[in-house]
């Protein structure tokens, strides 16, 4: 049986009367909260149309102390004055949310209409977050050893400051505290991977689309354990470089480095030589795991001397006997004994587990050291919200140096036992579609850039098995999303994350199935990147003054959670710029709506400050695409950048890779088209510059640094 619930921060409960609003509440949790306020006069507050669990309804009827309200009340302020009498002499009103259909591990089960009325009563509110660890538990965890719930009393919101935005912000902050208590987060990624491979060894497998080979996770485990001993003998350095595409070799190499007690560094082989040399220098690696065919395929990579290269296809045959031995050992011995023998628990918790590098789209790549805690938290956050059924399969074609390719298509499937179908390149969409059709893949993770390839070269029937398509790395144009849905019969869901957040923080997902007598809360909204994953708090500040705003106001996005990195490698000044008291400054501008969906307005580096006004580049690009009749399903043909301007501070420049006469048109012609759409004159491009192509990174994201260089060099 699960352990009893634990309650944190009872000291936050004010002595005066207050409206208590838990984000969710089942019968056992209600009893726990009742005991917390047992010395106070309690009045239960229920929305009259909400469906209550029978046990809760019976208990409340016995208590004979309740009040009702309605979401259709035209004058909630007047109702609030009546309810205020229940707060006299330190009394508490405790709202009891009704039964709701939600995605797994959702902090708030209260419909926005109901929440709006609660916030209109004019009463001080005490939010309470309730986290149920079993809902976000990984397959390797023993749920009987987890508390039934972690209840965190949030910070009181004064009556004058109460709003849906202030409530959601306080609730998410309390839920972040609750999630951060999970015992899993202090463990070792190596042990989690070992336990996952053992648990799913017979059923889980990787299918390498490069050669159509198939290996069970039990064989992957044996190979990785044998190879880990080889790596230990090869280098005394803590970090080991890996230069491989997605596939069985890349998976085994990463696992082996982790099992060797070392830190894998997957290098971006598509980056420029200078950026790669910078990353190599910063990481301090002296050995590179790769494959001879791959070395020949990527001659532009600044390869070190052969003595520093570990060719995996040469090393593995020499380890055949050891692989067989480890296969036997791993089947006989429990994970705990193997882990103890290999000392896999030596590095854990806040110790560095994985080193990734930012794309360098706006400067020199920065090393992002993700801890064991970071990675395990994000696997739990992402996995709990997806809640994939057993024997699901996922396409892994994103590069291993990409943060999603690392956490979501390396560590997540191994720990959770999800089958992994890999292919070295996300660009070869025709082959990817074949693999999806042959192996009946359920989940596709992609970017809008790569999705355009599916639109052009893939038959709709080939993607029929897909149950979920998630995109990230760049904004998903609604026209592309709609065209994809019409062709393939499945709506792509947009997500959000950064390397520094391990990476996933938000994702849209299909709404949960309806159940009788319960309201269904939405988990997807077009034009947003979805709701925050469990255990992540958010705040918004003014980009210019750093003044705190409510989260429904547009501003700089800050995030906090167990998945947030601890700082850039060897760059304390850069770290201090983005990390303040555990809060991470994302560099993105956005807001949260009443249902908790995050709207990304743009990257701060993709804004120009012109005449004191913040001008969003992506909004201008969208308007230009519409004005010029450019198809969102095709590759990127234009880009907007800001360049220094002596009069206004900055000026907008349009880079165009259009081959027809459009580029010859006067800026005035384009200006008129933009003005007709309501784009302010100040936002219109001052100059149009012809370029051979719009620079993009391997992930499909716009290469801002190269775009700015092109704009400045042409002036």
User: What range defines the domain where residue 199 resides?
Assistant: 189-507
Which range (369-373, 573-577, 650-654) has the least confidence?
650-654
What pLDDT does residue 657 have? 86
CATH of the domain at 203: 3.40.50.12780
Half-sphere exposure of 530 (CA within 13 A, CB side): 30
Q: Which range, 70-84, 432-446, 592-606, has the best average confidence (pLDDT)? A: 432-446
What pLDDT does residue 661 have? 46
Among 507, 524, 544, identify where a domain stops.
Answer: 507
Task: Quote the crossing angle between the two packed helices 54-63 and 27-36, to the nearest 10°.
Answer: 30
Q: Do residues 94 and 213 both lie within one domain?
A: no
- pLDDT level of residue 260 (50, 70, 90 thresholds): very high
Concatenate the DSSP letters of all residues of 124-158 into one string.
-EEEEEEE-GGGS--TTS-GGGSBS-EEEE---B-
Question: Rounded distance, CA 404 to CA 410, Å?
Answer: 9
Residue 574 domain-assigned?
Answer: no
Contact indicator for 271, 365 with CB cutoff of 8 Å: yes
More confident residue, 433 or 358: 433
What pLDDT does residue 658 have? 84
Among 461, 476, 507, identify where a domain stops.
Answer: 507
Across the range 479-487, mean pLDDT stands at 92
What pLDDT does residue 490 have? 95
Q: Which two tokens stand for residue 144?
A: 């009987």
Q: Do residues 276 and 130 both lie within one domain?
A: no
What pLDDT does residue 447 have? 86
Q: Do residues 313 and 395 both lie within one domain?
A: yes
Question: Rounded distance, CA 510 to CA 531, Å?
Answer: 12
What pLDDT does residue 172 have? 98
Q: Is the pLDDT of residue 515 over 60?
A: yes
Q: Do residues 615 and 503 both lie within one domain?
A: no
Q: Do residues 48 and 135 both lie within one domain?
A: yes
Q: Do residues 252 and 153 both lie within one domain?
A: no
What pLDDT does residue 375 have? 97
Per-residue pLDDT reduced to its tens digit, 300-335: 899 999 999 999 999 999 999 999 999 999 999 999
Q: Which two tokens stand for residue 276?
A: 């790669």
Q: Do residues 30 and 169 both lie within one domain?
A: yes
Spacing of C-alpha 493 from chain mean position: 13
Per-residue pLDDT reduced to its tens digit, 442-465: 999 988 888 888 998 899 999 999
Across the range 93-110, mean pLDDT stands at 95
| Residue found under tokens 């308007």 | 623
- pLDDT level of residue 576 (50, 70, 90 thresholds): very high
Q: Is the pLDDT of residue 666 over 70?
A: no
Picking from 599, 597, 445, the residue whose alpha carbon sits closest to that of residue 522 is: 597
Across the range 612-622, mean pLDDT stands at 81
Q: Give percent of the chain with pLDDT exceeding 70.
A: 96
Residue 567 domain-assigned?
Answer: no
Residue 163 domain-assigned?
Answer: yes
Residue 162 domain-assigned?
Answer: yes
CATH of the domain at 709: 3.30.300.30
Q: Is the pLDDT of residue 494 over 70?
A: yes
Across the range 523-537, mean pLDDT stands at 96
Among 181, 215, 239, identify where a domain stops.
Answer: 181
Contact indicator for 400, 428 with CB cutoff of 8 Å: no
| Residue found under tokens 């993709």 | 606
Q: Do residues 278 and 373 both lie within one domain?
A: yes
Residue 681: CB atoms within 10 Å: 8
Residue 40 domain-assigned?
Answer: yes
What pLDDT does residue 125 have? 98
Question: Rounded distance, CA 83 to CA 19, Å?
Answer: 9
Question: Rounded distance, CA 404 to CA 701, Å?
Answer: 14
Per-residue pLDDT reduced to its tens digit, 16-36: 999 999 999 999 999 999 999
What pLDDT does residue 63 have? 84
Contact indicator for 493, 508 with CB cutoff of 8 Å: yes
What pLDDT does residue 549 have? 97
Torsion of CA 493, 498, 499, 505, to 10 degrees: -70
Domain count, the chain: 3
What pLDDT does residue 644 have? 82
- pLDDT level of residue 678 (50, 70, 90 thresholds): confident
Q: Residue 550 burial (CB < 10 Å; 0-12/13-18/19+)?
A: middle
Question: Rounded distance, CA 439 to CA 423, Å?
Answer: 13
Return mean pLDDT, the chain.
91
């Amino acid at each position: 049986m699960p352990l009893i619930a634990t309650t944190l921060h009872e000291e936050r409960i004010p002595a005066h009367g207050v409206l208590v609003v838990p984000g969710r509440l089942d019968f056992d949790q209600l009893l726990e909260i009742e005991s917390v306020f047992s010395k106070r006069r309690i009045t239960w507050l229920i929305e009259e149309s909400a469906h209550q669990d029978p046990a809760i309804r019976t208990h409340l009827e016995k208590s004979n102390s309740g009040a009702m309200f309605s979401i259709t009340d035209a004058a909630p302020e007047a109702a609030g004055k009546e309810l205020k009498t229940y707060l006299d002499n330190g009394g508490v009103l405790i709202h009891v949310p009704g039964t709701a259909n939600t995605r797994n591990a959702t902090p708030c089960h209260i419909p926005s209409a109901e929440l709006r009325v609660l916030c209109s009563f004019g009463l001080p509110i005490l939010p309470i977050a309730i986290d149920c660890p079993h809902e976000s538990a990984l397959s390797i965890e023993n749920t009987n050893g987890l508390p039934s719930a972690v209840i965190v009393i949030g910070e009181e919101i004064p009556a004058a400051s109460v709003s849906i935005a202030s409530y959601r912000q306080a609730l998410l902050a309390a839920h972040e505290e609750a999630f951060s208590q999970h015992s899993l987060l202090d463990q070792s990624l190596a042990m989690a991977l070992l336990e996952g491979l053992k648990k799913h060894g017979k059923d889980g497998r990787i299918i390498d689309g490069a050669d159509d080979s198939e290996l069970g996770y039990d064989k992957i485990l044996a190979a990785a354990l044998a190879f880990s001993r080889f790596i230990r003998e090869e280098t005394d350095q803590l970090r080991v470089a890996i230069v491989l595409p997605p596939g069985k070799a890349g998976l085994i190499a990463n696992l082996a480095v982790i099992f060797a007690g070392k830190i894998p560094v997957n290098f971006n082989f598509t980056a420029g030589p200078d950026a790669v040399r910078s990353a190599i220098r910063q990481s301090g690696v002296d050995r590179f795991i790769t494959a001879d065919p791959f070395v020949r395929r990527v001659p532009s990579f600044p390869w070190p001397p052969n003595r520093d290269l570990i060719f995996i296809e040469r090393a593995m045959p020499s380890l055949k006997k050891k692989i067989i031995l480890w296969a036997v050992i791993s089947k006989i011995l429990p994970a705990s004994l193997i882990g103890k023998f290999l000392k896999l628990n030596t590095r854990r918790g806040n110790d560095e587990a994985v080193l990734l590098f930012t794309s360098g789209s706006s400067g020199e790549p920065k090393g992002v050291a993700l801890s064991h805690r970071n990675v395990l938290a994000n696997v739990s956050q992402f996995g709990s919200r997806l809640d994939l059924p057993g024997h699901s399969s996922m396409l892994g074609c994103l590069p291993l140096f990409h943060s999603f390719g690392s956490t979501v298509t390396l560590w997540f499937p191994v720990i959770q036992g999800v089958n992994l179908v890999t292919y070295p390149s996300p660009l070869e969409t025709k082959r990817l579609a074949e693999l999806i059709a042959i192996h009946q893949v359920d989940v596709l993770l992609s970017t809008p850039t790569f999705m355009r390839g599916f639109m052009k070269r893939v038959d709709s029937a080939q993607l029929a098995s897909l149950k979920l398509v998630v995109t990230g790395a760049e904004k998903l144009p609604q026209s592309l999303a709609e065209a994809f849905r019409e062709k393939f019969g499945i709506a792509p869901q947009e997500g959000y994350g950064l390397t520094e957040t391990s990476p996933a923080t938000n994702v849209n997902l299909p709404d949960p199935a309806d159940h009788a007598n319960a309201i269904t809360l939405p988990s997807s909204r077009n034009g947003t990147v979805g709701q925050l994953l469990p255990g992540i708090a958010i705040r918004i500040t003014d980009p210019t003054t750093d003044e705190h705003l409510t989260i429904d106001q547009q501003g700089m996005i800050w995030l906090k959670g167990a998945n947030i990195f601890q700082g850039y490698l060897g760059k304390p000044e850069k770290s201090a710029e983005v990390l303040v008291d555990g809060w991470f400054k994302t560099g993105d501008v956005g807001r949260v709506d009443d249902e908790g969906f995050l709207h990304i307005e743009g990257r701060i580096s993709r804004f120009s400050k012109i005449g004191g006004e913040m001008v969003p580049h992506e909004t201008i690009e969208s308007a230009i695409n519409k004005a010029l009749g450019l198809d969102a399903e095709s590759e990127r043909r234009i880009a907007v950048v800001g360049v220094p301007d002596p009069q206004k501070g900055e000026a907008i420049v349009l880079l165009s890779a259009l081959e027809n006469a459009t580029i010859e048109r006067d800026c005035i012609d384009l200006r008129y088209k933009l003005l007709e759409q309501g784009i302010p004159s100040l936002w219109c491009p001052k100059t149009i510059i012809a370029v051979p192509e719009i620079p993009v990174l391997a992930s499909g994201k716009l290469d801002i640094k190269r775009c700015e260089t092109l704009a400045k060099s042409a002036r």
